[in-house]
Chain A
Amino acid sequence: MRLTGAQALIKSLEMQHVEAIFGLPGGAILPVYDPLLDSSIRHILVRHEQGAGHAAEGYAHVTGRPGVAMVTSGPGATNIVTPLMDAMMDSIPLVVVSGQVATASIGTDAFQETAITSITQGITKHNWLVTEAADIPRVVAEAFHVATTGRPGPVLVDVPKDVANATMEWYWPSSDELDLPGYHPVTEGDPALVRQAAELVLAAQRPVIYAGGGILKARAAEALRALVDRTGIPVVTTLMARGAFPDSHPLNLGMPGMHGNYTAVTAMQRADLLLALGSRFDDRVTGRISAFAPGAKVVHVDIDPAELGKIRRPDVAIAGDCRVVIDELVTALDQLGLAADGTAAGGSPAARRPDVEPWRAQVRTWQAEHPLRYRQEEGGPLKPQFVVETLRDMTPDDTIVAAGVGQHQMWASQYWRFDHPYTWVNSGGAGTMGFAVPAALGAKVGRPGSMVWAIDGDGCFQMTAQELVTATAERIPIKVAILNNAYLGMVRQWQELFYEERYSEVYLSPDLPDYVKWAEAMGCVGMRVESADDVAPAIDKANAIDDRPVVIDFRTDAFEKVYPMVPAGASNDDIIEGPSEGERGR
C-alpha cells in the first residue's frame, strides 16, 4: 500500500491507539493535517501551541497514556518548548509532532525554520528529525516506546514538509524492528537489594515512606497500599504523588516540603528510615540537603538509575519500576515472616521487629497539635483556603483538580482530599504558570465522565485563558475557580517575608481584566464571588452546568499567605507554621 509520509504519520498514530491530538496547523505541517480529515482521531484545535502541550500533559496525567500534540515549524514548535520542559521535569509521556521546512531548505534560515531538535535536546527524553518517508512508522513507534517506557517523558518528532509529501510503502514495525540499540530501561529490582531493603524495614523504629510521582507513573498505588497495610509505616505524598495514597487513610501524613504540613515535614526529619519510592529528593522537599532527615537510612527505589545518589546517597539503591519493586519488597517481607495484616510469624526475623507503634503515636500527636490552619471570619475577607475546602466538599470524590503554579496550587494540594490516584494535575518540577486551564481541558478530554475543576490564580489564568475558547468551541465543559487576590501572590509572599514588604511588580488588580466579562466573551458562564456566604451557591450553580465551561472569579484576601513554610535554603527543622501575631488580621 503506497501512502504519503503524512498519511503514514496519521496511520501510525492510529496504530498507537491515539484518540486525541491537541494542535494547531501551519505551513510546514499542512500536509499532515490533510489526512487527519479522514482519520478517526479527534483533533482539538487550540488557540496557542503552549495550550496544546499542556492539554496533552493533562490528558496523560489522568489517563496514563501518552498525550499527543501537533504543531507547525518555527514559532509553532518553539511555543511548545515550555510544555516539553514541563513534561520532562514531571516525567509525563508526551509525543509532539512538529512540522519542519523541506529538507533542502534546512539550514538556510527559511521561513519559519528553526532547529527544534537542537532546541529541545535537553528537555525531551529523545527527539527525531525524520529524513525519509519510509522511516515514519518506525520512528513513531520508537517515539511512543521511548515516551512511555522506563521513566516516562516527552519526545518530539520533527517532520520536514517534503518528507510528509513523499510516498512510501506502508508497514508497521514489530517491537524488535525498532532501532534503539542503546535503550533498555530496567524494571525489576535486584533481589539481593530488595532483601536488604526488607531487612532495613524490619529494623526501623521510625520509618517513613516517601512516596513520589513515580508511584503514579508506575501505576503502583495499589501496591503501595499493600505495603502500608503490611508494614504500618506512615506515608508522605509529595506534590507529584498527591492521590497515590488516600488522604483519608490514617497513615497518610500528606504533603512534605517547603509548604508541606508540620507532621509530614517533621516525621521525615526524625525518621530513622526513609523508604523513597519514585521520589527524587527535590530541593522543595528536602530543604537544605545537608540538614535533611539527618538520622535516616535511605532506601531509594527509582526506575531512573541516575536518580539514585544524585542528591542523597542511599544505603540501598534499587533501580526498577516502583510497582514491580514494591511487589518484590512485599514478597521479601512475607518471606521474612511479616504477614499481610502486619503480624509476625513466631521465630521469624519479623518477630524481632521493633515496635513501631510509639512512632505512630508520636506522629498522631504531631497531627493533633500541628494541623493546617486558617480562619475564615464572619463578614471578613474571603479566604482562599475556605474556597478550596468548600469546593472539595461540594464535588464528587473522584473530581479531577488541575492547578497552575503559586499560592493557589499549594492551597489546593494542602486542603483538597485526594482519595483517588490520577485526580491531581499540576506542574511540579517546572513550576509552569498558566498550566491549569489547558491541562484541565486535556484532562476532561481524557476522562470526559469525571468532573474537572481548575483551581487557578489570577496571574496564571491570564497566561493561558484563551484555551477556554477552545473548551467552548470543542464542548469540553471544564470549570475554573480563580483565586483572585489581585497579585502574583507567591512572589508577593516572598517579598513580604524576605524583602521587607518591598513589593516589586507583583500587583495585578482584581478587576482588570474583568474576569466575568472575559469568561462570557469566551463562551463560558462567568460568576463573581466576594464573600464567604456566596461561595457555596456559586459552586452549586457551576456544578449544575455541563454544556459549557464555567469560570468563577473568587475575590480572595491578598494578605493570606501559604503556611507552613520552610524558607528557601533553610533546614526543614526551621519550619514556620504560621504568621506571627503581629501579622495576623491585617
Chain B
Amino acid sequence: MSQPTTSQPTTSQPTTSQPTTGAPATVPNAAADPGGARHHLLSVLVENKAGVLARVASLFSRRGYNIFSLAVAPTDDERFSRITIVVDVESAPLEQIVQQLDKLVNVVSISELAPERAIERELLLATVDADPGQRVEVAALAGIFHGAVIDVASDRVTVAVTGTPDDLDGVEDLLAPFGIVELQRTGRVALPKLGSRRRLQPVADRAG
C-alpha cells in the first residue's frame, strides 16, 4: 500500500469513513469511452447563488482536474441548481475530485452516475450548407435521430437533435459532408436508469 495515489484510480478501496450515508466514496467501474479516456458523471446539487458555477469550475482548474462537459440549470426547487459534470478520471481519482468538490460550501450534495447505469441526453444544434435540393435530405437525416429542422435560409438549414452523446457523434459525422457552418452541443445531462437498483448514488453530502 505504498504507491502514490495521484495517478490511476484503483479498484481497491480504502476503509474510508463516510460522513452520513455509510456508503463509501467508491471509485466505481468507469466506462471506457471509444477514445479510451475514462469519464464519469457527477450530478452536483448546488445552492442557486451568484458565482457558484465559477467556484465549481475554478476548483477543477486549480486542482488540475479535467472537465469533459458541464451542464447547469435550476432544479424544481428554486434554491438549488444541478450541475452535471462529465469528469476525466484519468486526471485524478474520482474519490479525490468528489471530496474536493464537497468542500465547496455551496455544494449541497454530489451523486455519481456510472454511465452504464445512467440515461444520458445531449442537445445538438447544427447549421449546415444545404441548397433547396438538399434540404429534404438533411431533414430526413435529422428525422432518423428524432431531430428536426428548426430554421431555414436559402442556402442553409439549422437542425436540432437530441440524443445520447454517441448518437450525436454519429449525427456530426453524417452532417459533415454537407458542410457544417456552425455546431453547438450542450454537454450531457443525466438521470439514473429506472429499474436500476442503484439510483443516484450519493457519494458525499458533507463539507469538511
A: residues with CB less than 8 A from B are 117-118, 121-122, 125-126, 129, 146, 150-151, 180-186, 189-190, 193, 196, 289-290, 292-298, 303-306, 308-320
Contacts and interface: CB of A to CB of B under 8 A. Distances in A.
Given A122-B58, A297-B1, A184 B19 contact: yes
A290 B4 CA distance: 6
Given A126-B105, A150-B208, A182-B46, A319 B1 contact: no
Contact of B4 (A121, A125, A196, A289): A289
B11 to A, nearest CB: 12
B96 A306 contact: yes
Given A289-B4, A298-B1, A319-B208, A181 B15 contact: no
B43 to A, nearest CB: 14
A495 B3 CA distance: 31
Contact of A146 (B20, B105, B107, B205): B105
B2 A294 contact: yes
A306 B103 contact: yes
A314 B5 CA distance: 10
Contacts of A305: 16-19, 25, 99, 102, 204, 206, 208
Nearest to A290: B4
What is the predominant secondary structure among interface residues of chain B facing chain A? loop
The 5 closest A-B pairs by CB, nearest first: A306-B99, A190-B17, A304-B208, A182-B108, A126-B105
A126 to B, nearest CB: 4
Contact of A150 (B59, B96, B207): B207
Contact of B51 (A117, A181, A290): A117
Contact of B15 (A304, A315, A320): A315
Given A146-B105, A290-B3, A298-B1, A186 B208 contact: yes
B207 A184 contact: yes
A182 B2 contact: no
Contacts of A306: 96, 99-100, 102-103, 208
B14 to A, nearest CB: 5
A181 B108 contact: yes
B95 interface: yes
B26 to A, nearest CB: 12
A183 to B, nearest CB: 5
Contacts of A317: 14-17
Nearest to A303: B208
B109 interface: yes
Given A185-B207, A309-B14, A316-B14, 15 more contacts: A118-B54, A122-B58, A125-B105, A182-B104, A182-B107, A185-B206, A189-B17, A193-B15, A290-B2, A305-B206, A306-B102, A312-B5, A317-B16, A319-B18, A319-B19
Interface residues of B, number: 43
Contacts of B20: 184
25 contacts: A117-B51, A122-B58, A122-B59, A150-B207, A150-B208, A184-B206, A184-B207, A185-B206, A186-B206, A186-B208, A189-B17, A196-B15, A293-B2, A296-B2, A304-B208, A306-B100, A309-B16, A309-B96, A310-B96, A313-B3, A313-B5, A316-B15, A317-B16, A319-B16, A320-B17
Nearest to A296: B2
A289 to B, nearest CB: 5
B189 to A, nearest CB: 21
Given A305-B99, A314-B14, A182 B55 contact: no
Interface string B68-108: 00000000000100000000000001011001101111111
Contacts of A190: 17-18
A65 B33 CA distance: 50
Contacts of B51: 117-118, 121, 129
B15 A182 contact: no
B194 interface: no
B6 interface: yes
A109 B102 CA distance: 33
Contacts of B50: 129
B5 A309 contact: yes
B62 interface: yes
A319 B16 CA distance: 8
Contacts of B106: 126, 182
B76 to A, nearest CB: 16
B16 A183 contact: no
Given A125-B105, A126-B105, A305-B102, A313 B14 contact: yes
Contact of B17 (A125, A146, A312, A318): A318
Nearest to A146: B105
Nearest to B22: A190
A488 B6 CA distance: 33
A255 to B, nearest CB: 23
B129 interface: no
Contacts of B47: 181-182
Contacts of A320: 17
Contacts of B58: 121-122
Contacts of A118: 51, 54
A315 B103 CA distance: 23
Interface string B169-208: 0000000000000000000000000000000000011111
A311 B96 CA distance: 10
Contacts of B46: 182
B192 to A, nearest CB: 21
A438 B14 CA distance: 42
A315 B14 contact: yes
A295 B2 CA distance: 8
Query: Which of A129, A193, A308 is the most central at the interface, judged by chain B CB atoms within 10 Å of its CB?
Result: A308
B15 A309 contact: no
A311 B107 contact: no
B5 A308 contact: no
Contacts of B5: 309-313
Contacts of A151: 208
Contacts of B109: 182
Contact of A313 (B1, B55, B59): B1
A186 B15 contact: no
A313 B10 CA distance: 10
B111 to A, nearest CB: 14
Contacts of B59: 122
Contacts of A292: 2
A327 B196 CA distance: 42
Contacts of B205: 182, 184
Contacts of B6: 310-311
Contacts of B104: 126, 182
